[in-house]
Structure 1
């Protein structure tokens, strides 16, 4: 079967599944999830006319007679002000009815019970609902819940949020030559893909579920793929057609549907996307670390983002500035550092080396036959 085009493969991964069911969780548990429903203001923001500065709430034209003091959190509402009156006020306190402005301390002079200063009508009062009224939709469904979103939700009166359940992604690492610690001996290599994947999985909106390390045997891989406690199984290595590459045969044994059997990109060509009969997904990554990173950004991250209910990410572009030779048939993924509107290739982009990617801000997507100009960017997640 011919390799799938790079853009087509990403779209296929994005459309392979749908968002997982919605759950209602406390604010403290929603970080990193995607909103299952729009975020709506339960109360206006601000909820009342509030002082934006420390100073004096004043009514009418000065000088003003000081009538009292109010601080944020005071239980009793302040008495209304009449023209010529002022009330000392703290930031965030409820502004008395009748006040025309808040006169900051640094712009005022107080002599006994009299306050003078230059008035700017309407200044330094945050009016009820000026940011948004109650009932207004503030954020769309699919928005990722960040720390700022959590603070906004709390300010709008929410104690819980409806979010999509985060998918679970398990890692099946193959390769008898891999070592997980120390300096490898001759014929051995350190596993670079296993430590790299959990951060990519979390950044895409999912949770790492478990890791299995299996020998280069067909039966061992079939057994690992039978584990049901993850929506996505990420197989590292075993995707090509060599004597130790058993993933394609294991998928045939399990009766999987394989919509992507290789992607026309460099590096990362021998990657795949499969759907098991029970609906679980399998993403096959090449065994070379940089090729595996490219494959993860091509198939795994779009799939996980969709299952997590995240909206379609924006397309980022930059002008590629540097000596890059396009491939005649395949899309190239080139590590770049961003400088203003330019993307500068950093080199060290062989399939087996992560040195270039580690020094880069993004991967530039260089289409076949590229002749210059702007290219699409894939940001490199932490």
Structure 2
């Protein structure tokens, strides 16, 4: 079997192959590749999670749609004490029609979320009031208002008073006025906003059943290598696959919709067949990106006519990563409009995570219409050693004192990454203690 150097020298390069790029330049290439979102679709709320809004999210109604009680207690009109009106069936409960209007000096029971009757000036909290039987009025008989005709509306027979030490509620207290949160037609979220569970809740609250979103890029994950086990501990010279379980969640956090995971052995023809049969917008592969005797990704890309955009990045770990544009001749129904890409990740787990953060994240965010993540900087709590000519991505925790590097950050290790709150981007030469350093978020979903 030929040595790796000889093997690499004999492998033709896909069209567009170039020298290794710096880490910042490689990120720019990935951003440019995804600069045009794939398309727009209208989908039910339940299918929109993880997509990006393709248009501003506007309210279809006032929120709240009517004056609403913020507490359990009594709706009151005017100063105390109040005549407590006996409730009709369902009156004062959430989900029921609004109660009859209150006259000055009247009160009625009310529950949180119930519509506030006209005439109410405030809500008196349940713990602040006490209902007492009213004393009969002389000459009228208990429960009869002077001058009341037979069959007229019953008169309140109970008085609502403040408990000792409690002051009367000020005007409007514990009433959520109509339109307090938003008005009908008001734009609440901008196009490009990521649809999170909270966004889905807001969309429902303002009356939406569907959302117009950018189509999430479909991704097929190809896990390459004969040496990988799918269950149990490593044994007999074979190792447990860590990337198959790890990457789907990472890619989904970047906006991808995973359509499948295929395992492909160290066989060039099998890899070519897998690449040709995939219909995903983006194919993500693990392993076979370097120049080993069984690394067939480069020759497979040559065979299918791919164009390399990135072929190696000056970063540690993960430098043998690649980004390629795939041909669409096999897809005549979308030829000319369809754009397909391949992101090649190294086989070592932490190196693959670095490559995903470098190339997959900006590509997938762009294709899905989601704004690129804003970089942020924190102070280095300790010196971060650098490489003379390569950027380093270092797992860090982020306590108040700044970025603290974690151990176990070798290319094949995941222990440090599992504890990390971010990846510090350490430029060539390193970062001194107390100096600012850029940090990338670590996917957590």
Counterpart pick for 1:60 among 42, 54, 78: 78
Q: Report if the CA contact (8 A) 1:68-1:86 is conserved.
A: no
Answer with 302-311 or 124-133: which moved more: 302-311
2: CA distance, partners of 1:77 / 1:217:
72
2: CA distance, partners of 1:175 / 1:88:
70
Counterpart pick for 1:92 among 113, 118, 123: 113
2: CA distance, partners of 1:22 / 1:68:
55
Cross-structure match for 1:192: 242
Cross-structure match for 1:114: 159
**Once the 2 structures are TM-superposed, how far is the Cα of residue 314 of structure 1 from its aligned partner?**
2.6
* Structure with the higher strand share, 1 or 2: 1
Cross-structure match for 2:226: 176
1: CA distance, partners of 2:183 / 2:319:
52
Matches within 5 A, 1:169-318: 169-278=219-328, 279-318=339-378
Cross-structure match for 1:328: 388
Counterpart pick for 2:422 among 362, 368, 371: 362
Alignment RMSD (CA, Å): 1.8
Q: Report if the CA contact (8 A) 2:94-2:111 is conserved.
A: no
Cross-structure match for 1:50: 68
2: CA distance, partners of 1:124 / 1:333:
51
1:380 lines up with 2:442 in the alignment: yes
Answer with 212-221 or 123-132: which moved more: 212-221
Cross-structure match for 2:42: 24
Cross-structure match for 2:196: 146
Answer with 303-312 or 84-93: which moved more: 303-312
Q: Any stretches of 5+ residues in structure 2 without a counterpart? A: 1-17, 134-157, 163-167, 329-338
Q: Report if the CA contact (8 A) 2:379-2:403 is conserved.
A: yes
SS where residue 357 of structure 2 aligns?
helix
1: CA distance, partners of 2:366 / 2:285:
19
Q: Report if the CA contact (8 A) 2:71-2:174 is conserved.
A: yes
User: What stretches of structure 1 move > 4 A for 4+ residues in a row?
Assistant: none
Q: Any stretches of 5+ residues in structure 1 without a counterpart? A: none
1: CA distance, partners of 2:245 / 2:423:
20
SS where residue 31 of structure 1 aligns?
coil
Q: Deviations over 1:309-358 (max 9, x none)?
A: 22222323222222421112211011112212512111111111112111
Q: Report if the CA contact (8 A) 1:318-1:341 is conserved.
A: no
SS where residue 350 of structure 1 aligns?
coil
Report the CA distance shift for 1:74/1:337 in structure 2 as closer, same or farther (over 3 A). Answer: closer
1:13 lines up with 2:75 in the alignment: no
1: CA distance, partners of 2:240 / 2:85:
75
TM-score normalized by structure 2?
Answer: 0.81
Q: Report if the CA contact (8 A) 2:96-2:114 is conserved.
A: no
1:343 lines up with 2:403 in the alignment: yes
The count of corresponding residues between Structure 1 and Structure 2 is 382
2: CA distance, partners of 1:77 / 1:180:
61
SS where residue 339 of structure 1 aligns?
coil
SS where residue 262 of structure 2 aligns?
strand
**Once the 2 structures are TM-superposed, how far is the Cα of residue 164 of structure 1 from its aligned partner?**
2.4
TM-score normalized by structure 1?
Answer: 0.94
**Once the 2 structures are TM-superposed, how far is the Cα of residue 148 of structure 1 from its aligned partner?**
1.5
Cross-structure match for 2:57: 39
Q: Report if the CA contact (8 A) 2:385-2:431 is conserved.
A: no
**Once the 2 structures are TM-superposed, how far is the Cα of residue 163 of structure 1 from its aligned partner?**
2.0
Report the CA distance shift for 1:54/1:211 in structure 2 as closer, same or farther (over 3 A). Answer: closer
1: CA distance, partners of 2:64 / 2:179:
5
Counterpart pick for 1:83 among 104, 112, 118: 104
